[in-house]
Amino acid sequence: MQFASDNWSGASPKVIDALAEAARAGGPAYGGDKITKLVERRFSEIFERDVAVFLVASGTFANALGISAYARAGGLVFCHRDAHIQVDEAGATEFFGGLKIVTLDAAQGKLAPATVREGLARHPEGQLHGGQPVLVSVTQMTELGAAYRPEEVAAIGEAAKSRGCALHMDGARFANAIAALGASPAEVTWRAGVDVLSFGGTKNGCVAAEAVVFFNPAHARDVGFVRQRAGQGFSKNWFIAAQLAAYLDQDHWLDLARKANAMGARLAKALERSADARLAFKPDGNEVFAILTREADARLKAAAAIYHPWSVECLRVSERPKAGEIFVRLVTNWKTAEGDVDRFAKHLRSR
């Protein structure tokens, strides 16, 4: 009963086999190998246009690298106050881009276009003291488990573009979002105004593999230098490429995400039915946020369930846990078994 995070799950056998095979073969260094080329082509197919792709080994660096391409002096990056780039990356966006983050608020981590416009309006053009807006970042799915629909992304994209800002999408759980939305990768990204995407693999069955996808390759002209200088221009670049080649092959990435999402839905249903719990948000994918009775929490912990308490500041004041309650995050993944979910459910009292 491991619901701590989708990054505890090891890697998918198909990905492992591909990685091992590439490691046995070896090949030219620094991306001169065939698998890297193949993966680059594959991304252009998946996104239905020519893209510039940079393979990296972590989501934090994927975000920092993508955002850095839009950095300018005094640059401001707008994102949700619970965004991974703001709370979980130890200042990577600021460090790599020389940028400053401005946070916005919204329910379930999902920015609203009006909030973005208001935030940007507080930094009028030519105001040197406060800095200049350069980029808006959204997380797909959000850190609180919601997927942006294409038209929602597009509206934020328009708000960003109205002030000359780029739109960045942190897609650490992009696969889960695509699986949930039934929209195409193109529809929720460049067709909706996204300039650069962190396409995640690690949380959904890879070992350490992320791709930074630029929908306008011209924007990426200096990105190779940023990656090299950061020590993520790997000599054995095929180690990431091999993982992604397997991950993208025959929609393996979507199969894995569908499985994770199905387990998330199963878990959410179990919580909804219980007298011990209520959902904090309706989950779109594999992240389930719930308020449990402390009693149920103790029962589950005793039964060796693993999950994390979460910050109540993500909730409106009226929705926060009351005395005797606790707010928790439960994450399913491609490896979660139905049996795990059902065993978890068995420890909850029914309504």
Q: Is 67 in the site for a second copy (CB under 8 A)?
A: no
Q: Smallest distance from the beta carbon of 332 to a second copy, in angstroms? A: 14
Q: Is 170 in the site for a second copy (CB under 8 A)?
A: no
Best CA proximity match to 163, nearest among 217, 207, 195, 117: 117
Q: Single out the residue of 55, 62, 246, 260 in contact with a second copy (rule: CB under 8 A).
A: 62
Helices (H) and strands (E) in the chain, counts: 13, 11
Task: Give the residue with the Cβ less far from a second copy, 186 or 208.
Answer: 208
Task: Give the residue with the Cβ less far from a second copy, 26 or 324.
Answer: 26
Best CA proximity match to 6, nearest among 253, 254, 240, 173: 173
Q: Single out the residue of 39, 42, 55, 59 in contact with a second copy (rule: CB under 8 A).
A: 59
Q: Is 304 in the site for a second copy (CB under 8 A)?
A: no
**Looking only at residues 85 through 104 of this chain, which bind a second copy when binding is defined by CB under 8 A?**
87-92, 94-95, 98-101
Task: Give the residue with the Cβ less far from a second copy, 17 or 151.
Answer: 17
Q: Single out the residue of 230, 279, 326, 345 in contact with a second copy (rule: CB under 8 A).
A: 230
Q: Is 164 in the site for a second copy (CB under 8 A)?
A: no
In angstroms, rounded to a whole number, what is the distance separating the alpha carbons of residues 225 and 1? 43
Q: Smallest distance from the beta carbon of 324 to a second copy, in angstroms? A: 22
**Looking only at residues 240 through 269 of this chain, which bind a second copy when binding is defined by CB under 8 A?**
none
Task: Give the residue with the Cβ less far from a second copy, 155 or 175.
Answer: 175
In angstroms, rounded to a whole number, what is the distance separating the alpha carbons of residues 219 and 208? 25
Q: Single out the residue of 207, 312, 326, 345 in contact with a second copy (rule: CB under 8 A).
A: 207
Task: Give the residue with the Cβ less far from a second copy, 109 or 193.
Answer: 109
Q: Single out the residue of 9, 36, 140, 261 in contact with a second copy (rule: CB under 8 A).
A: 9
Q: Across the chain, which distance is largest between two alpha carbons, in Å?
A: 61
Q: What angle do CA 190, 224, 185 make, to 5 degrees?
A: 20
Q: Smallest distance from the beta carbon of 351 to a second copy, in angstroms? A: 34
Q: Single out the residue of 54, 70, 214, 239 in contact with a second copy (rule: CB under 8 A).
A: 239
222-234 CB burial, b ≥16 within 10 A, e <16? ebeebbeebebbb
Best CA proximity match to 263, nearest among 336, 342, 204: 336
**Looking only at residues 17 through 46 of this chain, which bind a second copy when binding is defined by CB under 8 A?**
17, 19-20, 22-30
In angstroms, rounded to a whole number, what is the distance separating the alpha carbons of residues 238 and 36? 6
Stretch that binds a second copy, among 12-20, 248-256, 294-302, 318-326 (CB under 8 A): 12-20
Q: How many CB atoms lie within 10 A of CB 63?
A: 31
State phi, psi for 343 to the nearest 5 degrees: -65, -40
Structure tokens at 330: 């439960």
DSSP assignment of 137-154 equals EEESS-TTS-PPPHHHHH
Please give the single-letter amino acid code of residue 154.
A
Q: Smallest distance from the beta carbon of 271 to a second copy, in angstroms? A: 24
Task: Give the residue with the Cβ less far from a second copy, 38 or 230.
Answer: 230
Number of residues that bind a second copy (CB under 8 A): 75
Best CA proximity match to 56, nearest among 221, 179, 226: 226
**Looking only at residues 101 through 160 of this chain, which bind a second copy when binding is defined by CB under 8 A?**
101, 122, 128-132
Q: How many CB atoms lie within 10 A of CB 162?
A: 13
